[in-house]
Amino acid sequence: MSSQSTTIPGLAHNQPTTLLPIQLAVMEAARAVWDLVGEEHINNFAVVGGAALLFHGSDTRTEDTDLAITREAFDKFCQLARNDPRFTEDPYWGPWRYHASFDFDVLIDFLDKSGVQGWLPELTGCCLIQGVPIAMLTDLALLK
């Protein structure tokens, strides 16, 4: 296991943040899912939870990627991810995992797949950080 860390700009507090490889892997997983889902689903996708806080510059400890996503965007992800060796799905309809370049398998927790009573209707908006739709800090604080 690598013990390297990387410093990123701390968007939430205007100071650099040092992230561990597992935290970078969580962010990599979110970017990889977004790359598959694509911009036509920008209103149907947002990184939330601890993963979103990492994009905002926090050094929160998290080992999974929480994504608010609607059924249509999730279906597109599933169709494309089945042909992408970085993604694996539990054969018994369990969670998806992403094998990151840091040699970590990151659990991907998809929220809102039904499209009702979930995170997406509650969000006031998203911001693009590193080209990925991320829930706003105010929403993360209110929904936590």
- For residue range 78-125, what is the model confidence (pLDDT) as tens digits? 999 999 999 998 777 668 999 999 899 999 998 876 555 566 777 888
Residue 88, both tokens: 């694996």
- For residue range 21-69, what is the model confidence (pLDDT) as tens digits? 999 999 999 999 999 999 999 988 999 999 999 999 898 999 899 999 9
Return the CATH architecture of domain 6-143: 2-Layer Sandwich (3.30)
Task: Read off φ and ψ for residue 21, nearest 5 degrees.
Answer: -55, -40
Q: Which residues of 17-40 are buried (b: 16+ CB within 10 A; e: fewer)?
A: bebbbbbbbbbbbbebbbebbeee
Tell me the domain boundaries of the chain.
6-143
Residue 141, both tokens: 């604080």
- Does residue 135 register a pLDDT over 50? yes
SS3 content of the chain, % helix, strand, coil (to 5): 35, 25, 40
